[in-house]
Amino acid sequence: MSRFRVEFYDCIYARADLAVRTYLGETKDTVAVYAGEKRRLVAAKPQVTFSTAAFLGMD
């Protein structure tokens, strides 16, 4: 079962960016960051996507 988490982050232009984390289990996930826009709530395509797995083991 896939799950997701939605978080809003304020930016200096009073528009909220949207970060969505979709995950399946403990080790597979994708984080997508959508920029807040003036005319729409957020951009249709994410500004950046990445997996938190890239940060595992960084000591």
Give the three-state DSSP class for 54.
helix
Domain ranges of the chain: 3-55
Token pair 């709530």 in the structure block, residue: 41
Whether 50 contacts 56, CB under 8 Å? no
Neighbours of 30 (CB within 10 A): 16
Strand residues in 1-59 grouped as ranges (E) = 3-10, 16-24, 28-34, 48-50
Q: What is the pLDDT of residue 32?
A: 92
Q: What is the pLDDT of residue 48?
A: 92
pTM: 0.66
Amino acid 52: pLDDT = 86
What pLDDT sits at residue 36?
85
Measured CA to CA, the distance from residue 14 to residue 40 in angstroms comes to 13
Q: pLDDT per residue over 9-59, tens digit each? A: 554 555 778 888 888 877 789 999 998 888 888 899 999 999 988 887 665
